[in-house]
């Protein structure tokens, strides 16, 4: 748990900056630092920085009264072979820096990521030599020294270096570390890499615990101040998890910094880099990435000034700095899988509440506040923009509520910690224009997606099963094991919605006891597909009974897809020898289906019922768009990749209606998108599937004939 009573210093927030060959970028950097409201910056500096554009920027930020932590690093080759001559060059460099800037810097940091030799060049032993020389050169001048800048959470490495530093008689004044949590994705998550997945929930090492462990290690070696010198989320990595990576970057920045600020362990966090196409708060529009990672040596801004673009995360950081600088945390809840709720007394004597859930979570706002409180508070989104709509619920995007007077919540701290962010395992989407509401009424529970202008409670009540079953049916699409039909939207006569009634029969009356209801699975899978950019009809609601949810009738409601045709119809036509369908060529339709299927698999989704009838084709501006329906059986992996065998098993159903030449064309298009080549060995598997379906149909005809004879 984080702890109340922590006051966030005005200088808690900082950022990493780097120069550009273009002098106008210096002016831009100064302007953006002022827009952020920051005082503290950190720069990497090496031998060729002297006399170059790095020194030009250093002089500018010093002249503009920013407080600079200058990180001094030797060139990679000198660090890799830290010979006597390399040590002399290092000592000369230190003397030059001390003479020119010693009294103008907040502190000097020595080295960067010594536990990552492939980036910094350093081995720990050589780093300790560099540290000793630095202390002998700079410490007598009264310069504050920071180090050792271990990358990521590696406490054993930190202990080794700090103990040797102390034995030298040169423990750092400031203990530095880079507390990354990017590979566990969410800032609050437990890190499975520390001691392996099996120990994840036993050790429960998250950002808060990491920062406290590192601060405790520093104190053991006489260092009272611990700072995180570099933290970011990569847009490239976030694209693997979301179609809105820039939004996730801003969300995670806020969530990380609120946790780091209230953990009571860190004195400062330098975000970074300020400008970088992959990692920065501002994109420079460049392609590629430096050979030496920015966390080790953020050497320069690589793109052209004309291509700079300020990202959402920049405004999120500015908003957070404005609201939290000088604020005191008076209540903090950082629940494992539930609600994250923080209350601060701000510097301008107001009360600030910050609320979010972990990804895919949702909590009804009226579970925490009265409607009067919600309407009286000044509500801001993650970017600091006022929200005109009343707060309906809290989700993964942080919500800020500013109250003029202190407000009392409906629950105490202990109760807040146990409020579930994902009630009954329900996952919620992340569409900007849609709000969500978990719902329980009588024997029914579920969830509703609410669009702007809709009244949430009215919508939920009109979509409850009692209302759905009595509404006039426009058409029935299926009525066998389950029933699927269309009705007029109860709140919008111009709109059509689709209802699916799921019925458990036969052996499923037993097996579904141990699963989430089919309605919930449809809801969860649809939102996860949309989260990953794979088209499926937008969910509207789902409802299940509070008892025996999996085996009693449950309902899923989604938007109606006004499809031009189904893939099954098109593939049947191609199997009959047609070269086009509905005005589109065979090649264009087959390629669109193959590309969609490959993208779905690349996004770690297996449909498990990928028949042509479950793929709908819509057209817009002569573009072919594919939408998957009936996704209740889908398997969606979080980390595991879909294997080639799993891909093929999914595709067998899809291309069954195609003859062999068209089937091979489909597979060629698929493997072109996949980045491989359709192996002839897979023909055997496809042929086996053909034989199995023919045999199954024949057996059904035989059994049906015998049944008629018995009757």
* CA separation, residue 412 to residues 368, 662, 689 (Å): 10, 64, 59
Confidence class for position 36, pLDDT limits 50, 70, 90? very high
* CA separation, residue 190 to residues 156, 208, 252, 336, 489 (Å): 19, 10, 15, 9, 42
CA distance 265 to 142: 26
Q: pLDDT value at position 375? A: 92
Count of Cβ atoms closer than 10 Å to residue 570 Cβ:
27
CA distance 661 to 108: 68
Residue 563 clears pLDDT 70, i.e. is over it: yes
Q: pLDDT value at position 157? A: 94
Show the tokens assigned to 467: 């209302």
Confidence class for position 708, pLDDT limits 50, 70, 90? low
Q: pLDDT value at position 697? A: 67
CA distance 678 to 683: 9
Q: Are 125 and 87 in contact (CB under 8 A)?
A: no
Count of Cβ atoms closer than 10 Å to residue 482 Cβ:
17
Q: What is the mean predicted confidence (pLDDT) over 392-396?
A: 94
Confidence class for position 638, pLDDT limits 50, 70, 90? confident
- CATH node for 328-421: 2.60.40
Which one, of 296, 287, 252, lies nearest residue 120 by Cα?
A: 296
Q: Are 56 and 103 in contact (CB under 8 A)?
A: no
Residue 645 clears pLDDT 90, i.e. is over it: no
Q: pLDDT value at position 202? A: 82
Q: pLDDT value at position 690? A: 66
Q: pLDDT value at position 182? A: 83
Strand order in 351-357's β-sheet?
328-334, 339-345, 351-357, 399-403, 378-380
Q: pLDDT value at position 35? A: 98
Residue 685 clears pLDDT 70, i.e. is over it: no
Confidence class for position 428, pLDDT limits 50, 70, 90? very high
Q: pLDDT value at position 618? A: 94
Residue 51 clears pLDDT 70, i.e. is over it: yes
What 8-state DSSP symbol labels residue 420? Answer: B
Residue 2 clears pLDDT 80, i.e. is over it: no
What 8-state DSSP symbol labels residue 471? Answer: S
Q: What is the mean predicted confidence (pLDDT) over 150-167?
A: 94
Average of per-residue pLDDT values in the chain: 92
Two domains, one topology: 328-421 and 565-679: no
**Extended strands (E) in 156-265:** 174-178, 225-228
Q: pLDDT value at position 201? A: 79
Residue 694 clears pLDDT 80, i.e. is over it: no
Q: Is 196 exposed, middle or buried (0-12, 13-18, 19+ CB in 10 A)?
A: exposed
Q: pLDDT value at position 46? A: 98
Count of Cβ atoms closer than 10 Å to residue 409 Cβ:
18
Percent of the residues in the chain that have a pLDDT greater than 90, as a whole number = 76
Of 162-176, 497-511, 696-710, the poorest mean pLDDT is in 696-710
Q: What is the pLDDT of residues 190-224, one digit of tens each?
A: 888 887 888 887 888 899 999 999 999 999 999 99
Q: What is the mean predicted confidence (pLDDT) over 469-484?
A: 91
Q: pLDDT value at position 150? A: 95
Q: pLDDT value at position 26? A: 97
| 150 contacts: CB under 8 Å, gap ≥ 6 | 113, 114, 115, 157, 158, 161, 176, 177, 178
CA distance 180 to 149: 12
Show the tokens assigned to 571: 């593939």
Q: pLDDT value at position 420? A: 86
Of 195-204, 519-528, 698-707, the poorest mean pLDDT is in 698-707
Residue 486: enclosing H or E segment and its boundaries?
strand 483-489
Q: pLDDT value at position 3? A: 62
Domain ranges within the chain, ordered by starting residue: 13-323, 328-421, 435-559, 565-679, 681-711
Residue 32 clears pLDDT 60, i.e. is over it: yes
Q: Are 355 and 398 in contact (CB under 8 A)?
A: yes
Q: Are 205 and 194 in contact (CB under 8 A)?
A: yes
Q: Are 447 and 428 in contact (CB under 8 A)?
A: yes
Q: What is the pLDDT of residues 237-260, one digit of tens each?
A: 898 888 899 999 999 999 999 999
Q: pLDDT value at position 502? A: 93
Residue 582 clears pLDDT 70, i.e. is over it: yes
Residue of 335 and 5 predicted with greater confidence = 335
Of 345-359, 390-404, 550-564, 642-656, the poorest mean pLDDT is in 642-656
Confidence class for position 575, pLDDT limits 50, 70, 90? confident
Q: What is the mean predicted confidence (pLDDT) over 51-64?
A: 97
Domain 13-323 in CATH 3.20.20.80? The answer is yes
Which one, of 62, 109, 58, lies nearest residue 225 by Cα?
A: 109
Residue 686 clears pLDDT 80, i.e. is over it: no
Q: Are 314 and 32 in contact (CB under 8 A)?
A: yes
Give the N- to C-terminal CA distance of the chain in Å, as an integer.
70
| 163 contacts: CB under 8 Å, gap ≥ 6 | 221
Residue 502's SS3 state is strand
CA distance 455 to 452: 8
Show the tokens assigned to 541: 């609601």
Residue 688 clears pLDDT 70, i.e. is over it: no
What sign results for the dihedral spanned by CA atoms 59, 60, 61, 64? positive
Residue 539 — left, alpha, or beta (φ > 0 → left; ψ -120 to 50 → alpha)?
Answer: beta
Q: What is the mean predicted confidence (pLDDT) over 484-511?
A: 90
Q: pLDDT value at position 175? A: 98
CA distance 385 to 437: 22
CATH class of the region 565-679: mainly alpha
Write the secondary structure of 492-503 as one string of H (helix), E (strand) and C (coil): EEEEEEEEEEEC
């Amino acid at each position: 748990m984080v702890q109340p009573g922590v006051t966030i210093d005005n200088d808690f927030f900082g950022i990493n900056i780097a120069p550009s060959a273009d002098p106008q970028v210096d002016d831009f950097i100064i302007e953006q630092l002022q827009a952020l409201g920051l005082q503290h910056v950190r720069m990497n500096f090496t031998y060729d920085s002297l006399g170059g554009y790095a020194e030009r920027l250093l002089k500018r930020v010093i002249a503009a009264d920013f407080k600079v932590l200058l990180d001094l690093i030797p060139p990679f080759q000198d660090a890799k072979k830290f010979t006597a001559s390399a040590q002399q060059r290092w000592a000369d460099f230190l003397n030059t820096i001390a003479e020119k800037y010693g009294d103008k810097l907040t502190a000097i940091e020595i080295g960067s990521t010594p536990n990552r030799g492939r980036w910094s060049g350093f081995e720990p032993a050589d780093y300790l030599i560099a540290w000793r020389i630095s202390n002998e050169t700079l410490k007598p001048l009264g310069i504050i020294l920071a180090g050792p800048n271990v990358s990521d959470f590696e406490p054993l490495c930190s202990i080794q270096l700090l103990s040797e530093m102390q034995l030298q008689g040169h423990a750092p004044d400031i203990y530095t570390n880079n507390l990354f949590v990017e590979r566990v994705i969410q800032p609050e998550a437990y890190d499975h890499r520390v001691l392996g997945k099996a120990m994840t929930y036993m050790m429960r090492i998250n950002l808060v615990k990491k920062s406290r462990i590192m601060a405790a290690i520093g104190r053991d070696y006489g260092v009272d101040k611990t700072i995180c010198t570099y933290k970011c989320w990569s847009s490239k990595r976030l694209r693997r998890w979301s179609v809105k990576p820039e939004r996730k970057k801003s969300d995670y920045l806020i969530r990380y910094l609120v946790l780091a600020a209230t953990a009571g362990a860190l004195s400062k966090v330098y975000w970074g880099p300020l400008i970088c196409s992959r990692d920065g708060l501002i994109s420079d529009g460049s392609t590629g990435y430096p050979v030496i990672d920015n966390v080790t040596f953020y050497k320069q801004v690589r793109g052209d000034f004309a291509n700079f673009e300020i990202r959402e995360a920049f405004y999120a950081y500015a908003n957070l700095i404005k609201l939290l600088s000088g604020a005191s945390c008076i209540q903090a809840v950082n629940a494992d899988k539930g609600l994250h709720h923080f209350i601060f007394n701000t510097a301008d004597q107001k009360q600030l509440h910050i609320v979010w859930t972990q990804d895919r979570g949702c909590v009804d706002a009226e579970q925490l506040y009265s409607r009067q409180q919600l309407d009286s508070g000044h509500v801001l989104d993650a970017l600091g923009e006022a929200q005109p709509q009343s707060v309906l619920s809290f989700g993964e995007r942080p919500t800020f509520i500013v109250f003029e007077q202190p407000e009392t919540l409906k629950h105490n701290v202990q109760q807040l910690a146990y409020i579930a962010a994902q009630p009954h395992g329900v996952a919620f989407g992340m569409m900007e224009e849609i709000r969500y509401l978990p719902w329980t009424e009588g024997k029914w529970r579920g969830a509703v997606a609410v669009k702007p202008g809709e009244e949430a409670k009215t919508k939920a009540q009109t979509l409850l099963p009692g209302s759905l079953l009595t509404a006039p049916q426009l058409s029935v699409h299926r009525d066998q094991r389950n029933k699927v039909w269309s009705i007029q939207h109860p709140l919008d006569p111009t709109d059509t919605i689709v209802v699916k009634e799921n019925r458990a029969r036969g052996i499923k009356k037993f097996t579904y006891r141990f699963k989430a209801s089919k309605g919930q699975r449809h809801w969860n899978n649809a939102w996860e597909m949309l989260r990953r950019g794979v088209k499926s009809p937008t969910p509207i609601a789902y409802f299940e009974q509070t008892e025996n949810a999996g085996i009693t009738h449950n309902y899923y409601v989604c938007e109606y897809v006004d499809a031009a045709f189904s893939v099954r119809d098109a593939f049947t036509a191609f199997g009959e020898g047609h070269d086009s369908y509905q005005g589109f060529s065979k090649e264009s339709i087959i390629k669109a289906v193959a590309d969609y299927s490959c993208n779905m698999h690349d996004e770690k989704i297996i449909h498990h019922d990928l028949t042509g009838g479950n793929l709908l084709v819509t057209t817009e501006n002569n573009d072919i768009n594919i939408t998957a329906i009936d996704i209740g059986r889908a398997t969606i992996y979080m980390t595991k990749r879909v294997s080639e065998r799993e891909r093929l098993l999914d595709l067998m159903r899809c291309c069954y209606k195609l003859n062999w030449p068209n089937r091979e064309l489909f597979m060629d298009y698929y493997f072109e998108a996949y980045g491989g080549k359709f192996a002839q060995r897979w023909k055997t598997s496809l042929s086996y599937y053909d034989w199995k379906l023919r045999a199954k149909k024949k057996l059904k005809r035989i059994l049906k004939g015998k049944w008629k004879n018995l009757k």
